[in-house]
A and B are shown apart, each in its own frame.
Chain A
Amino acid sequence: MSLELKVENYRYPGYARSVIRDVSLSIADGETVGLVGPNEAGKSTLCLVASGLAPASVGGELRGSLTIDGRPMAKLATYELAERVVVGFQNPNTQRSGISATVFEEVALGPMNLGLPLEETVERTWAALRLLRLESIATRNPARLSGGQAQLVGIASLLAMRPGHIILDEPTAQLDPAGTRLVAEALRQLADAGTSLLVAEHKTDLLDDLCSRVLVIDGGRIVRDGPTAEVFADPMLVDLGVEPPARVRLQRALAAAGLDTITGLEDVVVEQARSAATVLPEAAAFDQ
C-alpha cells in the first residue's frame, strides 16, 4: 500500500506554463520523505497534486495519475480523498475553519465531518491534542492563538483524521525550535504507526532528523531522490540555494580545517554545539 504519483505535467488554471513536470513519486506506508528546493521550485504545488486537491479543487490540468493504496484518485470527490490523504498548508490562519469556538472543536471538526461516532471523535481529538501537547489550550479560542500555537492546532486537526498518508507544506514555518521538535516527534510516531509522510520544508535539520529519503525539486522537476544522508551531502544543494543541515555543514567545516571526522561523532558535536549555542554565538551558527 502506498501513495503513487506520476505526473507528465500540471499547470494551474489560466496558465500555459507547467509548474510540475516529469515527476514520478512513490511513498510506501510508514515512509517519511522530505521535499526541499528553492523558492518557486514547485514544492507547494507538488503537495497539492500529491494530495489530489490539484486539480480536484484547485483546478488546472493534470496529465498523469495519483494512486493511493492501489486505487486511482482521479474520480474521487475531495471528501473521499480526505479519508485517505490530507495536506497541511503553511499559513496557520487559513487552516482554521473560522467556525469553531474552541481549539477542541477545531481539532474535532475533521473527525466529525467523517461521520464518526461521537466517542471516537472525542477520543481522536484528545489523542491529537496530547500528541502535540495542546491539552492546556483545548478551551482557548483558535482565533486568539499565537502563530506557533495555531500551526500546531492546524497539524493536530489533520492528525485527528488519521489518514494513511499525510502531506505537510512547511509545517514548522512559524514554530520555535521546541515546537519544531514536538512536530518531529509526533510525525515520527505517526510514521512508526504506518502513516506515510511527505514533508516540504526549508528546515533541512528537521528533515535530516526525520526522513529516510529526501527529494530535491527545482523548476517543477525532481532533480534528486535518494537516502537523506546522500542527498544532503550533495554539493548541488548549495547551488540550488538549499542550505544543508548543520551536520553536513559541520562535516565540511571540519574537513576544510583539515580535521578528520569519525562517522557518528559529528552528531555528538552538533548536539554539543546546540547545547552551547547560548554561550557561544559561533556555535549557534551551526544550529541556524
Chain B
Amino acid sequence: MLLTLPIAISVVLVSVFTRAGETVLFTVGPFDATAEGVDFAGQTLVRLLAISTSIGLFGLTTQPAAFVLDLERRRLSPRLAFIALNTIEAVPAMVERATVIQAAQRARGLDTEGSVRARIRGVLPLVGPVILSSLTEVEERSLALEVRAFGRPGRRELLWRSPDDTIQLLARLLMVAVLLGLIVGRLSGTVPSTP
C-alpha cells in the first residue's frame, strides 16, 4: 500500500489543481483547487486503492511457486511456467545481488551514502556489475537447466497438488458469477456508472 502512496499523492495534486471546474475551493498561486477536481481525485483514489489492495492481497496470500505450478497443472506450458516464475523470483534475487555488489564496492572505498551527488556517482559502478553478472548467470543457468532435460517436450508429473476444496471452488464460481453479473448490469444500465 505504501508503494502506491507517491502515485496517490501525484494523482490528488494533479486532479485537484488542474481539473477544470466551476466551484473553486481555494487558490495556490496560479492553480485553483476545484470541487470537481476533489471529486475526480476521490474516484481515482478509490480505483487505485482497489487495484493495489487486490494485488497486495494476491502477493501476501499466494506463493508464486504454488501459483505457477498450479497453472502448469492446468495445462500451462512448463516453459511459460518457468518464465513466469523466474521473472517473479528474479526481483528479490537481483536485489540480493545488488546488495552484495554494493557491499563489495563500499569495501573498495566507493561512497554510496551521503549527498545526492555521491549517491548518483555510486550508481554506475553498481549497475554495471549487477547487469553483467545477471546476464552471465542466465547463460550458465540455462545450460544447467538443459542438462536437466528442461526443454523436453511432453507433460511432466508434478510433485504436489495445491489444496483445492469444494468451498474454494464455489467461491471462485461465485466471484466469476458476480463479475459477469456486474458486466451485464453495467451494459444494461441496471448498475450505474461512475460520473
A contact residues vs B (CB 8 Å cutoff) = 51, 53, 57-58, 77-79, 82-83, 86-89, 91, 93-101, 104-105, 108-110, 112-118, 121-122, 143, 154, 157-158, 161
- Which residues does chain A contribute within 8 Å of B93, judged by CB atoms? 98, 143
Contact of B86 among A86, A93, A98, A110 (CB under 8 A): A98
Distance in angstroms between the alpha carbons of A89 and B63 in the assembled complex: 30
From the candidates B65, B85, B144, B150, name the one contacting A95 in the complex (CB within 8 A).
B144
Q: Do the beta carbons of A58 and B143 come within 8 Å of each other?
A: yes
Which residues of the partner chain B approach A113 to less than 8 Å between Cβ atoms?
A: 78, 148-150, 152, 156
Q: Give, as a whole number of angstroms, the nearest-CB distance from A138 to chain B.
A: 12
**A residues less than 8 Å from B63 (CB atoms):** 101
Given A94-B140, A113-B152, decide whether A82 and B146 contact each other with a Cβ distance below 8 A: yes
Q: Is the CB of A53 within 8 A of B152?
A: no
Q: How far is the CA of A99 from the CA of B80 in the complex (A)?
A: 12
In the complex, how many angstroms separate the beta carbon of A123 from the nearest chain B beta carbon?
Answer: 12
Chain B nearest CB, measured from A170 CB (Å): 13
Are B151 and A118 touching (Cβ within 8 A)? no
Contact across chains for A57 and B159 when beta carbons are under 8 A apart: no
| Nearest neighbor of B144 in chain A, beta-carbon distance | A95
Contact A97 to B157, CB < 8 A, known contacts A79-B150, A79-B151, A113-B150:
no
Cβ-based interface call for B113 (8 A): no
Expressed in whole angstroms, the minimum distance between the Cβ of A68 and any Cβ of chain B is 14
Contacting pair A89 B140 (CB below 8 A): yes
Partner of A121, one of B65, B89, B142, B159: B159
Q: Which of B65, B82, B147 has the most CB of A within 10 A?
A: B147
B80-117 interface bits toward A, Cβ cutoff 8 Å, 1 = contact, 0 = none: 00100110011001000000000000000000000000
Identity of the chain B residue whose Cβ is nearest the Cβ of A104 in the assembled complex: B159
| Contact yes or no, B149 A82, CB < 8 A | yes
Q: Are A118 and B157 in touch, CB under 8 angstroms?
A: yes
Digit string of B147-179 for contact with A (CB within 8 Å is 1, else 0)? 111111111111100000000000000000000
B137 engages A94 (CB within 8 Å): yes
Minimal beta-carbon separation of A145 from chain B (angstroms): 14
Whether B145 sits at the interface, judged by CB under 8 Å, is yes
Give complex CA distance A112, B155 in Å.
9
Most chain A CB atoms below 10 A, which of B140, B146, B148: B148
Question: How distant is B76 from chain A, measured CB to nearest CB, in Å?
Answer: 13
CA distance A83 to B151 in the complex (A): 12
Which residues B26-67 have CB closer than 8 A to chain A? 63, 65-66
Kindly report which residue of chain B lies nearest to residue A105, judged by CB atoms.
B159
- A94 in contact with B141 (CB, 8 Å): yes
Nearest CB to that of A97 among chain B residues?
B145
* Chain B min CB distance to A15 (Å): 16
User: 5 extra interchain contacts, Cβ-Cβ under 8 A, other than A100-B65, A112-B159?
Assistant: A82-B147, A82-B152, A99-B89, A113-B156, A115-B152
Asked if A98 and B159 sit within 8 Å, CB to CB, the answer is: no
Instruction: Report whether B154 and A86 are in contact in the complex, using a CB–CB cutoff of 8 Å.
Output: no
Distance to closest chain B CB from A155 (angstroms): 12
Instruction: Pick the residue among B89, B148, B151 that contacts A98 (CB under 8 A).
Output: B89
Closest CB of chain B to A95's CB: distance in Å?
A: 5
